[in-house]
Structure 1
Amino acid sequence: MKQTSQNKFPTVEVGKTVTIPIPSVDRGKEDARNVLGVVLEKTEEGFYKQGTKRGTINTLFTRNRFQECKETIINISDVPDIELSLRETSTKDSMFGGQGFIKCNCNKRYNSKMCKCKILNILYNSKCHKATTCNNK
């Protein structure tokens, strides 16, 4: 089994660009499914340290958790000296705010300055205001 795994997932050299899948619990529905990274180092145990344009990912990856790209897109010099989780990296790359959606729970019909959507200046969605009419919509 180990030999089959090594044949299916050959080692990746340091400096190669890779794609790292983001688990569905760590990203929003509209967010990208993968993040581009670069191999920063390989440990003796066979784990890989990855970096992205946002920073270094704070977890080590086994070879079966990422795929090597054919072309070089990111260099090691492009990785800033910041340590982030995979979820934080996904959130920073997101156009929609990341994994969690923001919604308000206003129960008033008047124009409230306490409305979370109004304060953050985001568009209302179908979960806002619980089906009551509101002047903030």
Structure 2
Amino acid sequence: MLVIEKKVLLICSLCSRTDAMRDQRESAKTGLEKQAAKMLALSQQKLPPIKVGQNVVVKVPDVDRGRLAPRNVLAVVLSVNESGLYKLGTKKGALERIYTSALSSGSKQRFVICHCKRYCNTKRCNCRSKEVLCNSKCHNSSACKNK
């Protein structure tokens, strides 16, 4: 009779363990769902939706381009899916793939140029004031601390 009672107690402890594991799994699932919702909200804040007709810059993978080919292609948003994916078109025609907003960023089509004579280390520098690094369009070979 004592042996039977131990088996019953053993089974009850197994049941309680499985119940505890089930509860932990459900709480982990709800935690993951909350985290996913939070990540989606943050990405939508960082990458606002792109409108149809807006210009975007699409990065060309290194495998698909030659040595002298441009790294980026200027494209226009043709349409938007119900799932938030974008169909893009260029001068040569529509692109085969559909893109997310993370792959294509909005293009402002403006260059910041400073024409500083040396160093570019104060806020007078147009590039530094807009928090952009100087490039080859700014100044040729003068010493620059904003490169």
**TM score, norm. by length of structure 1:** 0.50
**Map of 1:20 onto structure 2:** 58
SS in 1 for 2:82: coil
SS in 2 for 1:57: strand
Name the CA distance, whole Å, in 1 between partners of 2:107 and 2:61: 19
> As a proportion of its length, which structure holds more helix?
2
Aligned residue pairs total 71
SS in 1 for 2:69: coil
**Map of 1:36 onto structure 2:** 74
Q: Which runs of 5+ in 1 are unaligned?
A: 72-137
- Amino acid in the other structure paired with 1:19: V
Name the CA distance, whole Å, in 2 between partners of 1:47 and 1:25: 23
Work out whether 1:54 is the aligned partner of 2:92.
yes
Name the CA distance, whole Å, in 2 between partners of 1:45 and 1:18: 19
Name the CA distance, whole Å, in 2 between partners of 1:44 and 1:67: 19
Identity across matched positions, percent: 42
Q: Superposition RMSD on alpha carbons, in Å?
A: 0.9
1:68 alignment partner, one of 90, 93, 106: 106
Name the CA distance, whole Å, in 2 between partners of 1:28 and 1:4: 36
Which structure has more relative contact order (CA 8 Å, sep 6+)? It is: 1
| Ranges of 4+ aligned residues in structure 1 off by more than 4 Å | none
- Larger CA Rg, structure 1 vs 2: 2
Give the C-alpha shift of residue 8 in structure 1: 1.1
Name the CA distance, whole Å, in 1 between partners of 2:82 and 2:40: 16
Deviations 1:67-94 (A, max 9, x none): 11125xxxxxxxxxxxxxxxxxxxxxxx
Name the CA distance, whole Å, in 2 between partners of 1:34 and 1:60: 16
Deviations 1:1-41 (A, max 9, x none): 11111111110000001110000001012210000100000
- Amino acid in the other structure paired with 1:55: G
